[in-house]
Amino acid sequence: MSPRAALHSPVFRDYVLLTFGLLTIAAIVLLSLRVLLKKNVRSVWIIYRSWLAIVPAMGAVVFLGREAVIIGTTLLSILGFKELARATGLYRDWWMTGAVYLAIAAVGAASLAPDPATRAPGWLGLFLALPVYAISFLLIIPVIRNKTHGQLQAMSLSILGFIYIGWMFGHLGFLANAGHAYGYVLYVLLATEVNDIAAFTFGKLLGRHPLRSNISPRKTWEGALGAAGVSMLMPWALRFSFPHFSAFELVVTGLIVGIGGQLGDLCISVIKRDIGIKDMGAALPGHGGVLDRIDSLIFVTPLFFHMVKYFNGLV
Amino acid sequence: MDEWHYQPVSDLEQSLLQRLRRFPREPDMLCYGIRSASALALRAWLACYHRFTIIGRENLPATGPYVLLSNHSSHLDALCLLSSVPLRRLHETFPAAAEDYFFVNLPRMVLSALLINALPFNRQGRTRRSLALCQHLLTQGNILVLFPEGTRSVTREIRRFRPGIGLLLAGTTFAAVPCYLSGAREAMCKGSWLPKPRRIILTIGAPRSYADRPRDKGSVLQICRELQCAVEQLQEGQFTAGSQPVPKPALSSSATMSGGPG
């Protein structure tokens, strides 16, 4: 992945055209709802405006290449973890927070570094073994500080933050080392967000039965099933992203995005409900915090990554 | 097993703008880092470009809360006073900045909240609330930087001190440290945007407190007069000392050019 490769990549070009097409269609739909049907689309409009900033930013990062994707993913992980830390109050412990920042930076470094044995980009062995080192590192922080009070909670939250946000989401950065990086990275980003939007739309139009009433009252079975249906079709529609995939792999890809996307959303909701907050932050108007936006990706990316690695290897 | 208690930060769902405007601000690692780095850069700039000199640094209390107060004639004043406190107390030093000037748009808010750690002081209407906030900060052991003149003076003369400073100090043990800054107006007078390479000298006077004064109008005004006197004495002391290479303003061309009526 590099700017030159992006210019010559038909996959990258097609995704750029596709996303701008989708954004234009969304704008037309919103405008016609507003003008023709006199509906109040204000809240959706705020969400859409944020997309207008997010999509070009993501496109620019992918265009800039492998390093930009890995660094961008690492920064997003750090921002996401910061939101979790601020929401739980772990952020008041600067030692633990700083240690998790370092561990997340190590995820980025392992994705950037070449494999010492094969010289291939991305040190996969270290990347997959990193939780061992990171957890040991986080556990010795209280030992170094000679402190016990409240440390179990701090350690648990920082390990959750590192594994869940730093390492699992970090797979997105490592995906940039793959041979079909444009197809993989752009597919995961687009399909997961389309899945989210489909769940929202189906839920609004047909939603009757709550999916998990205690966790997220606004999510419905209708929305989840509709989104899963759309996600099952997406790999076939965007088959040009991974022309080497068998039919079985396409089905698995659809299931990962369709089911994983909803689960990621619900998992963040469990955390938010337990703390008693509505959003993880206010970084993205209409969406909430960064974590509210990347929650589905956190689930989808590692599963997709390991599916690809199992069937095809990363080259 | 007991339930865990989460304590979300109080500005969790606030946007950047709201978080900059609010006070007291939640401590933020990135913000502290940027502020420390910029304080170092600022000290280097003042030392090189303005040959910033501090006389009487030993007068600063080593620990505990105190109020630094000085004459006010330039935007550089707060920066100079901020550079006189030890770096380890940087994040507990709050220069009071006019809310109606420094907290009105994003660039000024970033500058004052992020880099200067300014306390938004309301000059109109809600002065008492701002003073209560100052008192609260002092009770927690912080350092305040105040300009009792209330606004930047355009002449060498020190304007009459506003009663707020007396109200804040009467009947409390908080130390007040009077200071006099010379050269800041010549370096960057009101209305100019680029500082000139003039020498700036900060004279720090002996700390004092007014624990035995009642909180009535007479003693409040008396405290103001005494503090103003102390600052004026530092001003005279700087000129009569003779060893300071500060030209008399009457002979200085820069002083007349800076628009003073006298």
Q: Which pLDDT tens digit goes with each residue over B73-126?
A: 888 999 999 999 999 999 999 999 988 888 888 888 988 998 999 999 888 878
Mean pLDDT of A53-76: 94
The domain segmentation of chain B, as residue ranges, is 28-189+196-240
Strands B119-121 and B93-98: parallel
Cβ(B69)–Cβ(B224) under 8 Å? no
State the pLDDT confidence band at B253, using cuts at 50, 70 and 90. Answer: very low
Superfamily in which the B28-189+196-240 domain is placed by CATH: Glycerol-3-phosphate (1)-acyltransferase (3.40.1130.10)
pLDDT in tens, A15-27: 999 999 999 999 9
- The Cα-based distances of A90 to A154, A158, B91 in angstroms read 6, 8, 21
Q: Which of B8, B14, B29 sits opposite A282 (nearest CB)?
A: B14
State the pLDDT confidence band at B221, using cuts at 50, 70 and 90. Answer: very high
Q: How many other C-beta atoms are found inside a 10 Å radius of the C-beta of residue B216?
A: 11
pLDDT in tens, A238-283: 999 999 999 999 999 999 999 999 999 999 999 999 998 888 888 8
Please answer yes or no on whether B13 and A281 come within 8 Å at the CB atom: yes
- Cα–chain-centroid distance for residue B124? 19
In one-letter notation, the amino acid at residue B44 is A
State the pLDDT confidence band at B241, using cuts at 50, 70 and 90. Answer: low
Q: Which two tokens stand for residue B201?
A: 């000298």
A223 has pLDDT over 80: yes
Extended beta strands in A34-135, E state = none
- Residue B229: which residues within 8 A CB-CB, separation 6 or more? none
Establish if A161 belongs to a structural domain: yes
Q: How far apart are CA A295 and CA A284, in angstroms?
A: 14
Q: Which of A91, A97, A100, A280 best probes binding to B when mutated, by most B CB atoms within 10 angstroms?
A: A91
Q: How far away is chain B from the Cα of A80, in angstroms, using its nearest Cα? A: 13
Establish if A146 belongs to a structural domain: yes
Tell me the H-state helices in chain B: 16-21, 29-49, 76-82, 99-102, 106-109, 127-139, 164-169, 184-187, 217-240, 253-257
pLDDT in tens, B22-62: 888 888 899 999 999 999 999 999 999 999 999 999 999 99
Q: How many domains does chain A have?
A: 1
Mean pLDDT of B171-180: 93
Any A CB within 8 A of B12 CB: yes
Cβ(A128)–Cβ(A105) under 8 Å? no
Establish if A29 belongs to a structural domain: no
Establish if A296 belongs to a structural domain: no
Position B123 scores a pLDDT of 82
Please state the ipTM of this predicted complex: 0.80
B258 has pLDDT over 80: no
State the pLDDT confidence band at A288, using cuts at 50, 70 and 90. Answer: confident
Tokens 């939250």 map to which residue?
A157
pLDDT in tens, A33-54: 888 888 888 888 888 999 999 9
Q: How far away is chain B from the Cα of A95, in angstroms, using its nearest Cα? A: 11
A203 has pLDDT over 60: yes
Structural domain that includes position A126: 66-177
- Residue B21: which residues within 8 A CB-CB, separation 6 or more? B103, B109, B113, B120
Please answer yes or no on whether A281 and B4 come within 8 Å at the CB atom: no
Please answer yes or no on whether A285 and B15 come within 8 Å at the CB atom: yes
